[in-house]
Amino acid sequence: MIDRRNQISEVVVTAEEMRAIENRIFAAGMPVAALMEKVAGLVARRMMAEWETLGLTSAKIGVIVGPGHNGGDALVIARELHCQGYQVAITQPLAKLKALTQSHAQYGKSLGIPWVSLGELLPSCDILIDGLFGFGLERPISGDLAEQVEQINQSQKRVFSVDLPSGIHTDTGEVLGHAIRADYTFCLGLWKAACLQDGAVEYLGKVELVDFGIPLGDIEAVLGESCRCYRITRERAIAGLPLPRPLLSHKYKAGHLLLVCGSEEYAGSAILTGLGARASGVGMLSIAVPGSLKPLLVPQLPEALIIPCPETDRGAIAEFPDPLDWDKYQAIACGPGIGRSAEPIISTLLQVPTPLILDADGLNNLASLGISQLKGRSAPTLLTPHAGEFKRLFPQINPNVDRIQAVRAASQQTGAIVLLKGARTAIGSPTGTVYLNPESTPALARGGSGDVLTGLLGGLLAQLPKAPEIAIQTATWWHAQAGILAAQHRTPLGVDAFHLTEYLSQVIALRAVIGNR
């Protein structure tokens, strides 16, 4: 049997794509009213289950109804809750309703569900259901409606949004003037791109997909057999691990990674990057550092082969020792702590026909050289910028508006895989495909977290040099899950990078063996 649920949970769509998929369903004969009943019934049951978990079974419910089908969904939910014995009241900020939504409103009134103003609703309810706008909103919320949205936000009621928080752009996650801040969002049918954009994170709350049974054939007919935007699931990430290893495996079959990192000023970067690589399970690890750092690294990483390099007068790598056998490495990762005057080092590495990861100062030096240097590389290149580094590399592309389109454009422009770090990390492939990591933690917002990720990425890439996109997705998910796990056991002020590395192995033990996410 095909694991349909996992396939559905990976697909990410734009408003235009979702609209096209729904239109196919309706054109095939599914009545709009029947689908609305099905979807809203599923959401109502999920809400009631959540309220039972939260101890809110006697809560008073306020429902905010919009003019379109999202408002119709909200009215069906309101009716179902009313029939289950909940105290429900409805407010309708906009006078005009679509025909089907109007029919549900008429029936709701016939059941005796009270219609009140927002001013009356807010003091009298414990929970708000946001059914004002669903996917596809383009115009900013303004005027009286904007004032009402701000009233809702200031009320500090628990808010459950249907599909998306009202006021959030479906594709970019941008706030269209004003938006409702939800505590829970029930995304309908397929993941909307906004649910994986940094700009929407503070408005979404806890997000859950409500799968209402869209036929896979309709999805493929609109998106093609290869979806252009994927959500990285646990199953997708775990499948990317080079496990199980063959019984006759040995260290030279488990990849050889070369790290180029560290300087006198940033000696710790070399250690953290090395520890991240160690956790990946890579068979052999070599680390090129300024010669003076070798005594610091050997006690921390005794299994690594430390390559001492000639130094500049500022304690950075001046050049690689000659000779250096580049052919023995399956991947190279460069950048953490190397300093901003390492253009010769980057130029050398760009000529090596081996998969290459550039991070941190590796990216800053590449920006000085120009991204045109990436053209013509015969092996995969991975760039791992945060937003500031991204802007230096791609000044014509704004990563803060639409991260999905930003990484897609940057990757196609350079031919490199581009990993844009953030609360929802976005990975762009030269093919135009984008992969999105659905969760992370602010506990990772501490110095050195990125160094650990670089090592982990390099270690997996060395083991999977012919499948770089799989290695990168797996490492991204793995790193984030380690942060989430560490945050549960350590201070809420964040997880230091050294201890983060200790949780990488625990993630695999918990997630792969027990499968609890």
Eight-state DSSP code of residue 168: B
- What is the Cα–Cα distance from 12 to 190, expressed in whole angstroms? 6
Q: Is 139 annotated as a binding residue?
A: yes
- What is the Cα–Cα distance from 33 to 215, expressed in whole angstroms? 18
- The whole-angstrom distance between residue 335's C-alpha and the CA centroid of its chain comes to 23
Q: Is 69 annotated as a binding residue?
A: yes
Interhelix angle for 99-110 vs 69-83, to 10°? Answer: 20
Q: Is 424 annotated as a binding residue?
A: yes
Vertex 450: Cα angle to 446 and 454 (nearest 5): 160
Q: Is 450 annotated as a binding residue?
A: yes
- What is the Cα–Cα distance from 301 to 296, expressed in whole angstroms? 9
Q: Is 91 annotated as a binding residue?
A: no
Q: Is 213 annotated as a binding residue?
A: no
Helix (H, G, I), strand (E, B) or coil at 186: strand
Q: Is 428 annotated as a binding residue?
A: no
- What is the Cα–Cα distance from 453 to 475, expressed in whole angstroms? 7
Q: Is 408 annotated as a binding residue?
A: no
Q: Is 73 annotated as a binding residue?
A: yes
Q: Is 135 annotated as a binding residue?
A: yes
- What is the Cα–Cα distance from 205 to 454, expressed in whole angstroms? 29
- E-assigned strand segments in 172-321: 184-188, 191-192, 206-210, 229-231, 256-260, 284-290, 305-309
Q: Is 108 annotated as a binding residue?
A: no
With CA atoms as reference, report the closest residue to 76 among 92, 86, 65.
65
Please give the biggest Cα pair distance in the chain.
Answer: 86
Q: Is 186 annotated as a binding residue?
A: no
Question: How buried is 369 (Cβ within 10 angstroms: 0-12 exposed, 13-18 middle, 19+ buried)?
Answer: middle
| CB-CB contact of 131 with 162 (8 Å) | yes
Q: Is 163 annotated as a binding residue?
A: yes
Q: Is 130 annotated as a binding residue?
A: yes
- DSSP-assigned states of every residue in 410-450: HHHHHSSEEEE-STT-EEE-TTS-EEE-----GGG-STTHH
- What is the Cα–Cα distance from 475 to 241, expressed in whole angstroms? 9
Q: How many beta carbons lie within 10 A of that of residue 467, not counting itself?
A: 16
With CA atoms as reference, report the closest residue to 65 among 30, 101, 31, 112.
101
Q: Is 256 annotated as a binding residue?
A: no
Helix (H, G, I), strand (E, B) or coil at 462: helix
Q: Is 137 annotated as a binding residue?
A: yes
Question: How buried is 117 (Cβ within 10 angstroms: 0-12 exposed, 13-18 middle, 19+ buried)?
Answer: exposed
Helix (H, G, I), strand (E, B) or coil at 432: coil
- E-assigned strand segments in 48-107: 60-65, 87-91
Q: How far apart are the first and last CA of the chain?
A: 21
Q: Is 400 annotated as a binding residue?
A: no
Residue in this structure with the two tokens 């390559």, named with its chain if needed: 307
Question: How buried is 408 (Cβ within 10 angstroms: 0-12 exposed, 13-18 middle, 19+ buried)?
Answer: buried
- What is the Cα–Cα distance from 491 to 373, expressed in whole angstroms? 43
Q: Is 421 annotated as a binding residue?
A: yes
Q: Is 422 annotated as a binding residue?
A: yes
Sequence ranges of the binding site for (6S)-NADPHX: 69-73, 134-140, 163, 337, 386, 451
Sequence ranges of the binding site: 69-73, 130, 134-140, 163, 166, 337, 386, 421-425, 450-451
Sequence ranges of the binding site for K(+): 70, 130, 166
Sequence ranges of the binding site for AMP: 421-425, 450
